[in-house]
Structure 1
Amino acid sequence: MPCQTNSELNELILQAKRETEGGRVADYIPALAKANPADFSVAIIHPDGLCISAGDIDKKFTLQSISKVLTLALALCDNGEKYVFSKVGYEPTGDPFNSIIKLETNNPSKPLNPMINAGALAVTHLIKGDSVPDRIEHILKFVRKLAGNDKITYSKQVAESELATSNLNRALCYFMKQHGVINEEVEELMDLYTKQCAIEMDCLDLARIGVVFSLDGKDPQSGEQLLPAEVARLCKTFMVTCGMYNASGEFAIRVGIPAKSGVSGAIMGSVPNQFGIGIYGPALNDIGNSSTGIRLLEILSEKYSLSMF
């Protein structure tokens, strides 16, 4: 999809950078620590195919927690809402995304929502397939369809780096296995989950997925229903209530659009019936969201009245 560079968007990026205090890359995952904190790019795709961009939109990054939205959509398509939400709840949490606290205090001991790590692991457990290669291919096929890009795959380097350092996620898995939320081998689930988080794309791919969600699951070019409208609605609701880690409430007030971030510095936004947005800026704030990315979305929302509230 051809994309036009946009001088106004570039100026808004410069403004966002001026108004943002630094940030640092996610160095607790060794492969992500290699990112250049000065990188920043954004693409916006409208339903009619108009694409505008600024920065190096060809630079690839891994989805990390943005993948939670996509596997939730796939799990809902495969298993239905009733079964998925027997394993994970609907409620936001003010705790960090990798916290184990609520698992210990909730009864039953299922994760509060699919956007925290415990909930995402429970959802990934539901992905169908006879083996990890089958299941990651099932996820990739779905992501490629949404992005309109058959070349999307995952970064083996990032997946291996995450698998070697994911002991807290292993602890979450073992806790959930003890309480019957999951019933597969923990290392198999961890292998699948780290590959899922390491799915790699650029801002154009991410914006294209964002516009599919903004159109309630429809392909912006062909009009084909790529996923059920109700699944798209559920995912967008979770993006609003839980998508920006434990800063989701403030983001809803200041920006007011469905969005999901990842610790790679990526953000996917879906402005209902208007456009999809893909952002990459690996310098993170203390919460784990792209610092310049958040500020740019605040500026865009204020300037163009994007908030749905």
Structure 2
Amino acid sequence: MICDNFDDIYEIVSQARKYTKDGKVADYIPALGEADPNNLAVAMFDGNGTCLSAGNVEETFTLQSVSKVLSLALALLDNGAEKVFTRVGMEPTGDPFNSIAKLESLKPSKPLNPMINAGALAVTNMIAGAGTEDKLGRLLEFIHDLTGNTSITYNEKVATSEFETADLNRALCYFMRQHGGIDGGVEELMDLYTKQCAIEMDCEDLSKIGYVLANEGVDPVSQREIIPLHIARIVKTFMVTCGMYNASGEFAIRVGIPAKSGVSGGILGAVPHKLGIGIYGPALDEKGNSIAGMKLLETLSSRFDLSMF
């Protein structure tokens, strides 16, 4: 079992840390640019406790695009799959995560999937609630349920930094509103979305979310279904096909674990019926994925035969 191999995990983290020098933190969001690029951490949860953690596990980080997995699950709970997928598609894209190109060329004009920025904005727009505070509160309650940690909230400094530098996301919103893809005010949606992306936790919390997804949406302690089976499967499928930006295909071949990355350096992994994995490594590759975190996951998958394929 992987949980019996602490020395191996410690060594894998040490070896993967060498790759941080080849990456760069996401300084286009000023608050994220303050992260230490040498940080690297992993936690793995098997449903019985955090079985293993190594590296800078005391560090907290904002979810960024990892939050797209959670907002999608909540929007599906609120609206059902049929309604959600009238506004966002199910197909991967080879374009960058913040591209507007496909919105302009596709008819009808809707984002290709919920894991790119346009799709995530359309999904967040469908979360039920009376306003930003209500909707964000519901998303945080959902995360508290998944992790068992009721202290999780959002980082105000990061949220403000993102809100002030989010002109490209605003452009996506205005384009989609023009074509019926979102409702309501753009600034209200941007307020919610930037706070969603700024939700902050550590690797242990993230690994617990991964485990619930790996366990078909069922809480390991209470055996209560937090995410219905069909929604958990939809979410994991998007993680496989679209979760690592436009490196998702290569990642599926090399690693074979449903995963979602964010530009803070977080990676959420869900090894079906086995493990939840949380990784943090803020030095990114050119596609926006944690460069050392990707190497770490590849090595873990190979060493412990974690690929689902």
Tell me, yes or no, whether TM beats 0.5: yes
Q: Is the 8 A contact 2:20 2:283 kept in 1?
A: no
Map of 2:282 onto structure 1: 282
Q: Is the 8 A contact 1:71 1:127 kept in 2?
A: yes
Task: Specify the code of the residue in structure 1 equivalent to 2:124.
Answer: T
* CA displacement 1:33-56 (0-9 Å, x = unmatched): 000001111100002335210012
How far does residue 20 in structure 1 lie from its aligned partner after superposition? 6.0
Map of 2:120 onto structure 1: 120
* CA displacement 1:3-57 (0-9 Å, x = unmatched): 9993321100112233565201000000000000011111000023352100121
Task: Specify the code of the residue in structure 1 equivalent to 2:54.
Answer: A
Residues 19-38 of structure 1 aligned to structure 2 (within 5 Å):
22-38=22-38
Q: Is the 8 A contact 1:88 1:112 kept in 2?
A: yes
Q: Distance in 2 between matches of 1:159 and 1:4?
A: 39
Map of 1:182 onto structure 2: 182
Q: Is the 8 A contact 2:43 2:50 kept in 1?
A: no
Q: Is the 8 A contact 1:5 1:54 kept in 2?
A: no
Residues 52-71 of structure 1 aligned to structure 2 (within 5 Å):
52-71=52-71
Q: Distance in 2 between matches of 1:4 and 1:37?
A: 29
Q: Distance in 2 between matches of 1:51 and 1:236?
A: 22
Deviates more, 1:109-118 or 1:221-230: 221-230
Deviates more, 1:129-138 or 1:108-117: 129-138
Map of 2:9 onto structure 1: 9
Q: Distance in 2 between matches of 1:18 and 1:182?
A: 43
Q: Distance in 2 between matches of 1:50 and 1:295?
A: 22
Map of 1:255 onto structure 2: 255
Matched pairs, number: 307
Map of 1:87 onto structure 2: 87
Change (3 A) 1:157 1:5: farther
How far does residue 217 in structure 1 lie from its aligned partner after superposition? 0.3
Task: Specify the code of the residue in structure 2 equivalent to 1:281.
Answer: G
Task: Specify the code of the residue in structure 2 equivalent to 1:200.
Answer: E
* CA displacement 1:246-295 (0-9 Å, x = unmatched): 00000000000100000000000000001000000000011100000000
Q: Distance in 2 between matches of 1:205 and 1:25?
A: 22
CA-based RMSD of the aligned residues comes to 1.4
Residues 142-291 of structure 1 aligned to structure 2 (within 5 Å):
142-291=142-291
Map of 1:101 onto structure 2: 101
* CA displacement 1:160-209 (0-9 Å, x = unmatched): 00000000000000000000011210000000000000000000000000
Q: Which segments of 5 or more consecutive residues in structure 2 lack a partner in the other structure? A: none
Q: Which segments of 5 or more consecutive residues in structure 1 lack a partner in the other structure? A: none
1:129 aligns with 2:132: no
Q: Is the 8 A contact 2:281 2:292 kept in 1?
A: yes
3-state SS, counterpart of residue 150 of structure 1: coil
